[in-house]
Structure 1
Amino acid sequence: MNLFPARTASHQRSLSTGGLLRFCRRYLSVALLLVLWQAGAQAGLIPSRLLASPVQIVHTAWSLTLDRTLPQNLLVSLGRAGAGLVLGIAVGVALALVAGLSRVGEDIVDAPMQMARTLPALALVPLFILWFGIGELPKILLVALGVKFPVYLNLYKGIRSIDPKLIELAKTLGLSRWKIIRDIIIPGALPDLLVGIRFAVGISWLMLVVAEQVNADSGIGHMMMDAEDFLRTDIILVGLAVYAVLGLLSDQIVRLAEGRLLRWRGRTAVQGGRR
């Protein structure tokens, strides 16, 4: 009677151990790089004036946290990235639906999007300042600009990849256009949309770096620009580390959401195997 619970517990322990080993392997190279970096700094091979040591960076980050400089700038950056991400995803989804669901919409939307996505963000900064001023709006719009392209491209591809026979079957069954979009197109394109969002989250932090170096008086980018004037490489590296950690955490959040939203695919595969 206790055979199956014992197997289940043993299987869970095995999964837990395997996950821990994978985590250690994944970040072993990063830990080794930090050790070599610190050893080179202590040996004098890496001048602190050019590149602060990991210990110095941690000490600077702690000092900036205690005097509230880092938390305050971090909150500002999170607000800008979050607003730009939401706006960019909304615009990208809307444009992908227009282009993916209609040939006319594709002709109107796709060509301008393909041209716009090749424009360098830095080249658009002067125009954004001219059009929207030097407040928060151009910074948020720069982030949204970079975010919308991966969302659009992936969702558009997902919509176009749906089997036309499913659409024909739905029409034969008398489903309305809205029900076809809700019950067939959106679920079928959801994996591609989530891939696009993963790319968009990473791009949002890259665009934020650009946005916060344009007439900003707060944010992680502004903190790094001030540090550049005083040759404080430790503060600059703290800002880069914050961007890197935020990018990693946001990617993990999207991956967790992807696992939950696409759980039905695993169940479908298991059911198909049982047949």
Structure 2
Amino acid sequence: MSQTDTVIGSGAGTGQSRIQQKRIEDQVPTLQEVRTKTQRRESKWQLVVRGAILPVTVLAVWQICGSMGIVSKTLLPTPFEIWLAFYDLLVSGQLFTHLEISIWRAAVGFLIGGSLGLMLGTAVGLFRKFEQSVDPSVQMLRTIPHLAITPLFILWFGFGEFSKVLLIAKGAFFPLYVQTFLGIRNVDSKLFDVARVLEFSRFKQITKLVLPAALPNVLLGLRLSIGVAWLGLVVAEIMGSSEGIGYLIMDARQFSQTSVVFVGILIFAFVGKGSDSLVRFLEKKLLKWRDNFNG
């Protein structure tokens, strides 16, 4: 082999080794990437700790006051007694039975009322004449409280599931209707000028322009509708029911089982928080393009 071939071979070998080294460097995370991941983990734990400080402090003070007899256990049972009542309901199967029925009622009522609110809010937001015909009546009905209309629902539809679902749907309808309407009307008019220049059809304007721009308001309305749906569920089950978490609370109140009443309240709180967190998760996924102030 000549000296030239040796030099070429060594050069090729050096080039291959550099390429392999470059690939290894690309696969190995840099120090900055490792630090970023570590900071993210630490920030998540800090959020958990910060969020737990207040409830843990309240529970500790509550337990101490109850154990020392400062507060009557009949009026305000200790967290440990509430936990025991929760455990008994869980083991007996009553909790899952009542919770399943309550979730079914809330889900069906929310789907009916929320869907109607979304569709009607979209129609009112898009068409001025439709707004003038429908919106005044809807705004008048929106001001009627749940408790005022509940006896009428019972007279019309009885104590069955239909009246309960309708009451929940009535509450879930208005937040989505209002927020969808506002979201559409808050779309920048300059975007419509751009759509006309691009010769968008009416359908394309709605799907590509109006609905994406109104999505933040729609998701806000979704969160509010879920909260009002749970409120409607409580009213419906307390006014007249033989099953559900609301019935569990009323039944426990009649027998002065305050710890069971607290269990029912906490179930409503945790399930409501879970559904709200689900919508907030959807907000983060669907609204990544927003650049908001985070405090």
- Both proteins in one fold, TM over 0.5: yes
Deviation at 1:4, TM superposition (A): 5.5
Q: Which residue of 1 aligns with 2:101?
A: 76
Distance 1:107 1:236 in 2: 46
Name which of 136, 148, 172 aligns with 1:147.
172
Q: Which residue of 1 aligns with 2:64?
A: 39
Please tell me whether residue 111 in structure 1 is matched to residue 136 in structure 2: yes
Which one is further off, 95-104 or 166-175? 166-175
Instruction: Please tell me the residue identity of whatever aligns with 1:183.
Output: K
Q: Which residue of 1 aligns with 2:193?
A: 168
Larger of the two Rg values belongs to structure: 2
Instruction: Please tell me the residue identity of whatever aligns with 2:120.
Output: L
Distance 1:91 1:133 in 2: 23
Given that residues 95 and 109 in structure 1 are in contact (C-alpha distance below 8 angstroms), is that contact kept between their aligned partners in structure 2?
Answer: no
Question: Any stretches of 5+ residues in structure 1 without a counterpart?
Answer: 270-275
Please tell me whether residue 96 in structure 1 is matched to residue 126 in structure 2: no
Which one is further off, 107-116 or 33-42? 107-116
Q: Which residue of 2 aligns with 1:59?
A: 84
Please tell me whether residue 49 in structure 1 is matched to residue 49 in structure 2: no
Q: Which residue of 2 aligns with 1:261?
A: 286
Instruction: Please tell me the residue identity of whatever aligns with 1:250.
Output: S
Distance 2:172 2:70 in 1: 40
Deviation at 1:61, TM superposition (A): 0.3
Number of equivalences: 267
Deviation at 1:114, TM superposition (A): 1.7
Deviation at 1:110, TM superposition (A): 1.7
Superposition TM-score, scaled by structure 2 size: 0.87
Superposition TM-score, scaled by structure 1 size: 0.93
Please tell me whether residue 183 in structure 1 is matched to residue 208 in structure 2: yes
* SS class of match (2:30): helix
Runs of 4 or more consecutive aligned structure 1 residues displaced over 4 Å after TM superposition? none
Deviation at 1:160, TM superposition (A): 0.3
Distance 2:196 2:273 in 1: 43
Deviation at 1:118, TM superposition (A): 1.4
Distance 1:23 1:199 in 2: 25
Instruction: Please tell me the residue identity of whatever aligns with 1:208.
Output: L
Distance 2:183 2:130 in 1: 16
Question: Any stretches of 5+ residues in structure 2 without a counterpart?
Answer: 1-24
Deviation at 1:242, TM superposition (A): 0.3
